[in-house]
Amino acid sequence: MFTQDEIKQQLGIYAADFIKNDMLIGLGTGTTVYYLLKELGKRKQQGLNFTAVCTSLQTQNILKEEGMNFISLDYVDRLQLAIDGADEVDENGSLIKGGGGALLQEKIVEAAADELIIIVDEKKNVKTLGAFPLPVEVITFGWKQVKQKIESAYNIKTRLREKDGKVYLTDHQHYILDCFFNTIPDPGQLNNDLHLMPGVVETGLFVDMANKIITGHSDGSITVR
């Protein structure tokens, strides 16, 4: 039996094979992608040449440490490929993302990619999204209004995200409301509806974006769909 960390490491190495010389790629954020970044650092030393657009400062810092090239999204037209993790993946390939707080930049970067590959361990695959609290990024001004609106519209609880005893601020200086939906039968509709609420910047629902889901299993196997 492989540990979750070993599965993530295997996924990182597997996913690195999709990155070929001279590619322009988007790189995600999180503990699974961390292993991809480490593997790419090694391959860079061995001569692999690519340029990346990062989905967070965290990822950008790792690229810097590993001596890899990165560029702002504003200097590119399209990305050939993006690779990222996810918090949940449903049967249709819709995702919940943002557990690591980078949902806004992830969605912008990944919407600019011709292909999005998601790497997850098997525990993240679910029938219906929603057991993982849905991250919703909100403007700090008037955030309580948005919180109340979401809670009363869906009859659910939400929680302002904190980290190390302080309110969590995203790379773009916004708050995150973690929303306890429990079940999200129509992620596309919910994403659209949440976007209509003043103060909502982005949601962690990534619908019709992933082209390939690569799953790592505890027996060491990897499956692709």
Interface ranges with ligand 5RP (CB under 6 A): 28-32, 84-87, 97-103, 106
CB of residue 8 to ligand 5RP, shortest distance in Å:
7
CB of residue 11 to ligand 5RP, shortest distance in Å:
9
3-class secondary structure per residue, 73-137: HHHCCCECEEEECCCEECCCCCEECCCCCCHHHHHHHHHCECCEEEEEEHHHECCCECCCCEEEE
Residue 87 known to bind ligand? yes
Residue 219 known to bind ligand? no
Q: Which is nearer to ligand 5RP, 88 or 190 (CB)?
A: 88
Q: Which two tokens stand for residue 116?
A: 């999005």
183-192 burial, b at 16+ Cβ within 10 Å, e below that, comes to: ebeebeebbe
CB of residue 152 to ligand 5RP, shortest distance in Å:
27
CB of residue 127 to ligand 5RP, shortest distance in Å:
19
- Please give the Cα distance from 186 to 184 (Å, whole number): 6
Q: Which is nearer to ligand 5RP, 7 or 48 (CB)?
A: 7
Q: Which is nearer to ligand 5RP, 105 or 158 (CB)?
A: 105
Residue 59 known to bind ligand? no
Q: Which of the residues are catalytic?
A: 106
Residue 128 known to bind ligand? no
- Which is nearest to 136 in space by CA: 175, 166, 167? 175
- Which is nearest to 188 in space by CA: 90, 119, 116, 57? 90
Show binding-site residues for substrate. 29-32, 84-87, 97-100, 124
Annotated binding-site positions: 29-32, 84-87, 97-100, 124
